Amino acid sequence: MEPEILDQLPPDHPDVIRSRTDLKVINFLMGNERWIARQIRVFESARNQGVLEIGAGEGTLLARLAKLYPEIPLTACDLAPRPEGLPEGITWDQRDVFESLATASAGVLAANLFLHHFENDELENFRPHLEKFEVICVNEPHRTSQTLREAKLLLPIVGRATKHDMIVSIRAGFLPGELPERLGLKTGKWIIREETSWRGGLRMLAYRA
C-alpha cells in the first residue's frame, strides 16, 4: 500500500474539498451508492435495525437512505467533522472506525471505497465486530490493469489529490475472494455474493445463512 494524499491533509484543505467533489462524480459513475441502496431494500428486517456506514465521507449514501427510509436509525462513522447540510436524523460518529464498531448497534454495515485503506493484518481486526451485523455491503476498487486504464481516462478532469489517490486506491483494491477471506466471513455462517462492475468496482454482499 502507498499513502494517499487525502489521508495526510486536514478536512478543510483545498485539495480535500476538491477531492470530495471528484469522489461524488466517481461514485455516481461507478453506481456504488445505488448498488448499496438496492441491497438494503431487500433486507427489511436488518434494515429496520439500522444502518451503519464506516468511512462515510460526505454522508451522501446515508442522505439517500434517509429519504427512502426516514424511520430507520442511520449512523455515519468518519474521522472528518460532520458535513454541513446532512439530514438531522443521521447520527455522526467522529471516531476511529474500531472505536465506533465496538459500540455499534445496527442490522446493516456499509462500506464504500473504504476498506482498501487497511493493510491485511488491519482488515483482520474487523472480524470480531462483524459478528453483530446481519448484512454487510462493501464496494471496493477491482484491482486489475483494465481498471487502471479506465481510471486514467478521468485524470484530465479531476484534482491533484485525486489524480494520485485514484491510482493508489486501485492498486490497493481487491480481487474476488479476497475480502471474505480477510474479513473472516466463513461460509456456513454467511452467504457471500461477489460481483464486478464494468466500471471497475468489486462488490461484496454478505448476509446470515
Count of C-beta atoms within a 10 Å radius of residue 12: 9
Q: Give pTM, 2 decimals.
A: 0.91
Classify residue 151 by its DSSP letter.
Answer: H
- Averaged over successive runs of 10 residues, the pLDDT of the chain (209 residues) comes to 76 83 85 94 96 94 95 95 93 96 96 94 95 96 93 88 90 96 92 92 95
Q: What is the pLDDT of residue 77?
A: 97
Give the whole-angstrom CA distance, residue 85 versus residue 200: 30
Q: Please choose, from the candidates 198, 192, 47, the residue with its C-alpha nearest in 3D space to the C-alpha of residue 133.
A: 47
The confidence score (pLDDT) of residue 23 equals: 85
Amino acid present at 91:
T
Q: What is the pLDDT of residue 1?
A: 65
| pLDDT for res 14 | 85
Burial tier of 56 (Cβ tally within 10 Å: 0-12, 13-18, 19+) = buried
Beta-carbon contacts of residue 161 (< 8 Å; ≥ 6 apart):
4, 5, 6, 9, 15, 16, 18, 19
pLDDT of residue 70: 94
Q: How far apart are the first and last CA of the chain?
A: 33
- 179 near 140, Cβ under 8 Å? yes
- Contact between 89 and 66 (Cβ < 8 Å): yes
**142 CB-side CA count, 13 A:** 21
Q: CB neighbours of 57 closer than 8 A, spacing ≥ 6? A: 20, 23, 78, 80, 112
